[in-house]
Amino acid sequence: MNLPIGELARRTGVKVPTIRFYEQIGLIAAPPRTEGNQRRYGKTEIDRLNFIRHARELGFEVDHIRELLAMSQEPQASCHQADSIAQSHLLEVDRRIEKLRRLRGELARMIDECGHGRICDCRIIEVLADHGHCAADHVA
């Protein structure tokens, strides 16, 4: 396989500027180039970009993806570190979900308390102007 960057982007769903960025930060190796200085990619790059794209879709940070990619090069090694990274990420997702639940509750309360009249009497504007009117701590 000897794909130009546009075809690699099409096959992996990763945009060309993102592929170049991943090369710059070392997530994928710089590919060989043609005599015309065009990048050429193969199955290895397709597989690696698919891994990176999927990990990003799941919300993993670039540094964790770098670690996970390194681990994938040692298939007989313990997966303890990979498990630890995933567990840490899961805890962070749970924290975000809880924050969103609090945020949702506060927004719903603001809307429910709004009299749907004039702006001068609008509960939404009042609450937004003064955090002290919030019923719960949705900032943390």
* List of domains in the chain: 5-77 (1.10.1660.10)
Whether residue 45 contacts residue 8, with contact meaning beta carbons closer than 8 Å, is answered with yes
Nearest to 44 by CA among 35, 34, 32: 32
pLDDT tens string for the chain (140 positions)?
799 999 999 999 999 999 999 999 999 998 888 888 888 999 999 999 999 999 999 999 999 999 999 999 998 989 999 999 999 999 999 999 999 999 999 889 888 888 777 877 787 888 888 888 787 777 65
Rounded distance between C-alpha atoms, residue 95 and residue 102, angstroms: 11
CA-to-CA dists, residue 128 to 33, 40, 50, angstroms: 55, 53, 42
pTM higher than 0.75 for the full model?
Answer: yes
